Amino acid sequence: MVSENTKDIEELSHMKRKILREAERLIIEKGYSNTSLREIARNLDISPGTVLYHFNNGKLEILREYLRTALNDLNLAQFVQDLDYDSFDETLRDILGLTLKSHRKYREFAAAIEIEILSKPDSFRKLLDLIKPEIQIALAPLKVLLKRFPDKNYKLEGKEKELIFAIDALTHRHIFYGNFFGSDSDLINLLVTVAKAILENDL
């Protein structure tokens, strides 16, 4: 027998998923700035307060939930186990290749927020402040790699935001502007160079 509490949890989870799907649809169709919580609520025949109950930071919280979904899809724990750590550069290429794959999968949604969020450093940094736990999960493979190669003297601590911002900015432009940096291999070579420069320099 299912308890009332379990039913309540299932209903809350179902509503949250509905809100997320409708928000995604509207953001892709109209853009991030032109999508309001009120419109999301109206389309689902619920109150704006219900949307805020599930996403108390508004649209930024919706972006955070979307990122969580993307991270779950990546199955990073298994990815870390399967990595070949014989070469620092080659393993870093594998990690950045996974990042590129994820960006391609969620291309439509990312494109919808490119101009309004990802290309505005202040807005993007606000989002990064909100998603600190998710950033740590996303950086887990890189942290494992750095521990495997302590002789490289690379430092990640305090540089997480700069690294994420640089990789995201370059990757999005490569995808949205039709292989802007050449082939995917060319992009990954560039990302490796940028990542190593950030990791070895004091910011």
Cα-only R_g, the chain = 19
Domain boundaries, the chain: 1-56, 59-200
Q: How many residues does the chain have?
A: 203
State whether the Cα torsion 63-195-143-160 is positive or negative: negative
Give me the residues of the chain with pLDDT under 50, please.
1-10
pLDDT at 163: 93
pLDDT at 90: 94
pLDDT at 2: 37
pLDDT at 190: 97
pLDDT at 59: 87
As a CATH number, domain 59-200 is: 1.10.357
Which of the following CATH numbers is that of domain 1-56: 3.40.190, 1.10.10, 3.40.109, 1.10.1760? 1.10.10
Question: What are the C-alpha distances in Å from 102 to residues 71, 108, 155, 176?
Answer: 9, 12, 25, 14
pLDDT at 66: 83
Tell me which DSSP letter residue 10 carries: H
CA 156 from chain center: how many Å? 18
The H or E element spanning position 169 is helix 160-176
Q: Cα separation of 186 and 175, whole Å?
A: 13
pLDDT at 111: 74
Q: Tell me the pTM.
A: 0.79
